[in-house]
Structure 1
Amino acid sequence: MSFSNLDTLYRQVIMDHYKNPRNRGTIEDDTLSVNMNNPTCGDRIQLQMKLQDGKVVEAKFIGEGCSISLASASMMTQAVKGLKVDEALALSDIFSDMMLGNDYDDKRFDLGDIEALQGVTKFPARIKCATLAWKALEKGLNEGQE
């Protein structure tokens, strides 16, 4: 597949998650809740997670922002459900490496749609948009372990 076709496919995946977000909403029962914002572009997210037996059993978000921010939140909530806390944190580290343009371990987890966000590295100002939900994940999981 040519680079142009791959780029188009990635844009389509991002727009699909933006227009049809997965796990958008709130969790009613006892949850971890983290509010984060990106003041440079106005992105805001509230991430809620339910942890049970050291696993993320539910993850949902509400918020507003650009397509990259909300698509990333959609992809992240899909990816972490069912993972152990340490696995979710490891996935977040892999995502961070990907956003920084560093080598990352794409064998440990099936990144699936998340790989569509790779192109964001070409636009440094948008990296904070892509990482907002992941920073909320890290903050919530680290606070939840304390």
Structure 2
Amino acid sequence: MYETTIEPRVSETDGVGHINNTTIPVWFEAGRHEIFKLFTPDHSFENWKMIILNMNVTYKKQIHFGQDVLVKTSVSRIGNSSLELYEEIWQGDVLCVEGKVTYVNFNLQAQKAERIPDSIREELGKHMVQGETSEE
């Protein structure tokens, strides 16, 4: 599991005093940084591989300014060319948000999905939780 600590900003707090729901996908993306590095080590957008296909977010509890949050990111499924991530955001000892996102390993120049390389599969496998490896 990958873990990323985020310090909520005042600008992310909405009029009713909690972190705005539009902030959560941005925080989840911050938790994917190490996975992005596996696919595109040089961070070059010309060689970018990770294309999002689907994202679901379930809000469970409010998140407030003034206390750090922990984004936990794990791999729940590895397919031929895609992978699904399971994500959580915790504040203190409280699970506040859960998410699932599906990415495809995509070759921008060829405009097609490509099989996830074995070396990346191996690393992703170290972060598997509640999932499986499958062929699509």
Band of TM-score, shorter chain? under 0.3
More strand by proportion, 1 or 2?
Answer: 2
More helix by proportion, 1 or 2?
Answer: 1
Normalised to the residue count of structure 2, the TM-score between the two structures is 0.23
Normalised to the residue count of structure 1, the TM-score between the two structures is 0.22
Q: Which has the larger radius of gyration?
A: 2
